[in-house]
Structure 1
Amino acid sequence: MTGRRVLVVGYDAAELLDIACITTSLQIANLHGATPAYHVRVAAPGGGPITCSTGLMIQAQETLERVNEPLDTLIVSGGIGHEAAAGNRVLLGHVRRLARHSRRVASVCTGASVLAATGLLDGRRATTHWRWAPTLAARHPKVIVDPDPIFIRDGNLCTAAGVTSALDLTLAFVEEDHGAAMARNVARNLVTYLQRPGNQAQMSMFTNAPAPADDLVRQVVEHVTAHLDADLTTAALAARAGVSERHLTRLFLKHLGQTPGRFVRQARTEAAAHLLVSTTLPMTGVASRCGFGTVETLRQAFVARYGTPPSRYRATQSSTTR
C-alpha cells in the first residue's frame, strides 16, 4: 500500500476527541494534496466497535492483532479506559511489536500510560494530561515526566498532553511531513491556530490554580497581575506587603512553589503572549505594557518559557496574521 500508513489505537472508553483530532486533521491534509497521502486507520483489540468514554461508538477498521505492515506513524489514544488498556498484556504486546516497525510512535493524553507500560518511554521525556502526570511519574519512575508542555518529542517518540493537544501534535506531524504551508491550510480548515509551540504550558498561571490560601500572598499576586508595568522587584513587593524580602520569598515558595521574581517573570511573559496573539501592538508596546524594560528582555524571557522568540510566536499563532 502506498502513502503514509497511520494507525490510531483505540480501546474501550477511549476518548473520541483524541481519535477524531488525528483522523480529521490528516484527512484534511489529504484533501489539500498531501503527497504521499496519509492512509489512516483506527485499530482496536479484536477489531470490534470501540465504546468511547462518552458512550458513542465507533467501528474499528483494523484488528490490532492482525496488523503486520510497517507503519509510518503509530498513535495510541487516551481516555478514561487507559488504565485498563495499560494493564492489557495482549494490547501492550502488539503496541510494542508495531512500534518496532514504525517511523514515528506517539500517544495522546493518557495514552502515555499505555506507552509507558510497554517500556517504550523508559529513559525518555514524556508528557500527558496534567491531571494524570503525577500518577504516570509515580507508576513509571524510569519515565522523565514533564507535566507542562503541550507535546514532547524525544527521538522518534512523541507524547501529547490532554485531549485537544492531539491537534497540535498532528499539525506538527503535517508540517514535518509536508511543510508549513500545508499545516497552515489544515489549521485554517480546522478553524484553529496553526499549532501551539510544543513546550507551551498546558495550563496558564491565570487559570490553572485557585487563589493562594495565604492572604498576604494572594494580595501580592493580585497586585502583580494588575500592575505588570510597575516596579515588581522582590524588594518593592515586600515593602508593599510590609514584610522582609526573605519572609515574602519563603511565603511564595510555600504557597506557589516559586520565588516572587520567578512568578513576576512568568506573569509578564504570559501576558505578553496574550497581547501578541490578540493585538497588533508593536513589540516595544508589548514589552512596555508587560513590564519588560526592552524588547530584548522580552525576547529572552519568551524564548526561556516558550522556546521560540515572540516574533515567531506572533507569526504562527496570531489571528491578526491569518
Structure 2
Amino acid sequence: MKTRLLAAIGACAAVVAPAAASAACASFEASPAELTVQYDPFGRATVDRVFTLRIRRLDPAATGVRFVFANPDASGGRSRVGRYGPEDFTILWNRDQGRRVFVLGAEQPNPTNGAYVQFAAAPAGNVVTDVFRLQLPPGQQAAAGTYLQPMELRFFCTTAGDSTPPDFQTGSQVAVQVEVPQRISSYIGSIGQRRGAIDFGELGAGGGVAPRSLAVTVQATVPYTIDIHKERRALRRSDEDSYGIPYRMRLSGVEVDDGSRMACDVTQAPTGRVHPVEVALSQRDVASVPAGSYSDTVTLTFLPRLGLAGGAGCAIGG
C-alpha cells in the first residue's frame, strides 16, 4: 500500500545547507608485512611480532593523539582473528607494556588507557612513529588457512588546552593477518619416534593371548587419511613361510585390515589426536604353528584429505 502526501506552502524560505562532517584529526597505518605472522597451533612458543605504527597529523591544531586498538568483531571476551582463526591475541605498547592499549567491547581511549604520542612542529612533525608488539599465545585451535582481522583505531587528539571529539578509523590500514600452514605430524609414544613395537613375547602352548597395543599421536591442521598396509598380512617367521599366525588389528577402536583407509578431521590443539593400535591373536592359531619368532610390519601412511572435511572424528572408508 502506497500513501502520498502533497503539501503546498505559500511562503518563501531560506535554503539551509547540511552541516559538513568533521574531518579526522589523525590517521594510522602499519606495514602488512609486519602484521603478517605464521602460526603453528601445536607450537610451544608465543608468537611475538614487533611492528611500527605510522601516525599522521591531519588537523594542524593537533599537538598529540591518544588511541587504542580494538577488535570490532570480538565476541565472548575473546579477540579471535577473523571468524575461524586463533581465538586470542593481544597488542602491547613497547614503551609501556603494562598499559592497556588493546581493548574489547565499547571501551574508548581515556587518561587511564591507550598510547599517547605527541606531534612536533610542522611540517617535519606531521608524521610520527611508535613501536608495538603483536602476540599470539600457543596452543590455540585453528585449521590451515589465512585469517585476516582489521583493527579499529579509536582516538582523540589534544590541542592547545582542549581535545577533539572521539573518533575512529577502520579498514585495512592496520590489519592482523595470521597464516596457519598445512601440517600433519605423527609419532609413536613420544615426539620424533617413528617406529614402535607390539611385542607378544614368548607364546606358550597354554592359556589365552592377551591383546597388545601402542599409541599413535597425530597433530594436523588439515583433514587427513590413514592408509593401512600390512607387509605379510600375518605373523610369519620369514616371507617364504606358507603358514603364519593370523591377527586382528583395531585402529581407534575400529577393526582394520590391509588396504583399509581411515578418514579424520583436523585434530585439537595443542595435544592432537591419539589413535590406539591394538593387535589380538587367537590361542588356537598360535598353537597350530611351529615354535619360532613371528613378526609382521604394519605401515600407517598419513595424507592430507582432499574435498570436504566431513564430520568430527574419524571413520573408515574416507
TM range (shorter): under 0.3
Relative to its length, the structure with more strand (as a share) is: 2
Between the two structures, name the one with larger relative contact order (CA 8 Å, sep ≥ 6): 2
TM-score w.r.t. the length of structure 2 is: 0.25
TM-score w.r.t. the length of structure 1 is: 0.25
